[in-house]
Amino acid sequence: MHVPDDLNRYQEVLVSPMYLAGSNGTGEAGFAPVAHWPHHYLDEGPCQLLVTSPDQRIRIGWFGDDFELWKISAATEAASATRWTATFNHVTPAEIVAGLTTALAHDYAEADAYDSNGRFLAHPSIYWADAVRPLTDAGWTRGVPDSPGTIEIVAPDGQAGAVIDRHDHGPDDETVTLWAGPPGWGTRAEAVFTARTPSHLIAATAAVMAESAPVIRERHQIDRRMQHLVTMTPVAPVTPTADAQVSRAPTPLDVRRTAVTQAVHRAARAPRTAADLRVMAAQSRSAGAVQNRSGSLAPATTARLSARSSTSRHGR
């Protein structure tokens, strides 16, 4: 029996490779590793949610309506100049961002106990290969660079890669880009790192791309231009209803996610109590259990066209 498209629209599917799954409109997976850090919900301005390390040396910003959806940075002191910055555009899966935030949470915990400087402020390796070693270890190979002085590593399917710019750069210049998907504003995911980003943090991000475990999305969240490049396996079969116009009833999981989201927003605007901490713990468990299914940690992305497209940045 043919199932109408509107019934398939909200069907949950496992998408692989993960780096082509795009964003699901929330930042839950990226924020889950730092759920215990201070959260600052900003009602005005482009940054809608800012999560910081307790000493505010690490900052993780969610720009829910921007082309560059995530901006992550670190500094030697809370008020000092940024040492390095990583940005992730609106197409990048939050699971890839989680590779970086997981490494940052680990580095910060280690610094708090053993090293006040922190490995997240380490100098990058003098060897460019260290930053992308998880990719080459997984069988990604050297490609043909677009311009002299750059090195490109490409996935076996040709749909993802890394570009390393080996020219002499200033400390704030962008030198490493991880990308996935065909060129285009709505199809290419990009993660861009500035020159002083520690190599192990770039490698931690690249490692998630190399593993590329399937992730859950609703079918309508996969751009039509990407559907022929990915494998989508239904999590559960769609059961047609007698009236295709009837809205789908919320599942128990929908109800639980809604309750957790509402509790988190209430907690963000009230003094931190033991109850608040329990709410944040519940959020973290929920995000891990459903592998970043649709939720509402921050306002859903309504990405607007940016003059700074990924195509113009690297000529792709």
d(Cα 267, Cα 279) in Å, to the nearest integer?
7
d(Cα 140, Cα 133) in Å, to the nearest integer?
9
The strand pairing partners of 74, in sequence order, are: 58, 84
Per-residue pLDDT 10s for the chain (316 aa) are 444 456 688 899 999 999 999 999 888 999 999 999 999 999 778 999 999 999 999 999 999 877 899 999 999 999 999 999 999 999 999 999 999 999 999 999 998 666 668 999 999 999 999 999 999 999 999 998 888 899 999 999 999 999 999 887 788 899 999 999 999 999 999 999 999 999 999 999 999 999 978 999 999 999 999 999 999 999 976 555 444 344 444 544 454 444 444 443 433 343 443 334 343 444 443 344 334 333 334 333 333 333 333 433 444 4
Residue-level pLDDT at 6 = 63
Residue-level pLDDT at 290 = 37
Tokens of 26: 């929330």
Residue-level pLDDT at 142 = 95
Give CA separation, 169 vs 55, 201, 240, in Å. 29, 19, 58
- Return the closest-CA partner of residue 205 out of 165, 160, 139: 160
Domain boundaries, the chain: 5-314
User: pTM for this one?
Assistant: 0.74
Tokens of 115: 């090293």
d(Cα 121, Cα 75) in Å, to the nearest integer?
7
Q: Residue 193: which H helix or E strand, with range?
A: strand 189-194
Tokens of 249: 């009833």
Residue-level pLDDT at 289 = 38
Which amino acid is it at 78? A
- DSSP string spanning 147-206? STTEEEEE-TTSSEEEEEE-S---TTSEEEEEEESSSSTTT-EEEEEETTS-HHHHHHHH
Evaluate whether 46 touches 298 at the Cβ level (below 8 Å). no
The strand pairing partners of 41, in sequence order, are: 49
- DSSP string spanning 121-137? GPPPPS-GGGGGHHHHH
- Return the closest-CA partner of residue 181 out of 131, 215, 228, 128: 228
The strand pairing partners of 159, in sequence order, are: none
Tokens of 56: 């505010």
Instruction: Tell me how long the chain is.
Output: 316
